[in-house]
Amino acid sequence: MFSHEESKKIRQEFWTSFGKEFPHKWLLYNTKMKEVQLKFSFTRKFAMVSLDIVDQDEFIRSYYFEKLESLKTVLKESYLPEIHYEKDYELPEGKTISRIFVMKEGVNIHRQKDWPAVKEFLGKNMLKLEEFFEDFSDYIKS
């Protein structure tokens, strides 16, 4: 087990090294839609690249989620075949969002031997998710 401080240091080391190895200006929160964010996650159980619809108004979340669902075939066939859709995704703090994501399970941010494969997974999949988002953002926004 790692102390809170040790764990924090390991997470900082990972994200710093990821940024150096993948020096790309990631879209992430700059989607020009306050309800939609692209995210990286890496925990002690999995790594994930996701598009999150974070608005707490269920009507707004449903609106964007349905737009993304209508693009599911093109997203799977042309960008991310392993994409998952979850309309009601509960975050650890209890907040519910809608999320589409790709996940790599069985990896651990505390195990440095997992880092190279996770960095590759995160970088490759976020580039594809960004490409999809940029290709269809006008439709998603409308």
**Per-residue model confidence as pLDDT tens digits over 58-100:** 999 999 999 999 999 999 999 999 999 999 999 999 999 999 9
Strand partners, 42: 47
Q: Check if the beta carbon of residue 28 is closer than 8 Å to that of residue 17.
A: no
Q: What is the pLDDT of residues 32-60, one digit of tens each?
A: 899 999 999 999 999 999 999 999 899 99
Per-residue pLDDT band for 139 (boundaries 50, 70, 90) equals: very high
Angle at alpha carbon of residue 129, lines to 79 and 119, rounded to 5°: 105
pLDDT of 56: 86
pLDDT of 2: 79
pLDDT of 30: 86
The burial class, CB within 10 Å (0-12 / 13-18 / 19+), for 107 is: buried
Tell me the domain boundaries of the chain: 4-141
Per-residue pLDDT band for 1 (boundaries 50, 70, 90) equals: confident
pTM for the model stands at: 0.92
Q: Check if the beta carbon of residue 82 is closer than 8 Å to that of residue 129.
A: no
pLDDT of 65: 97
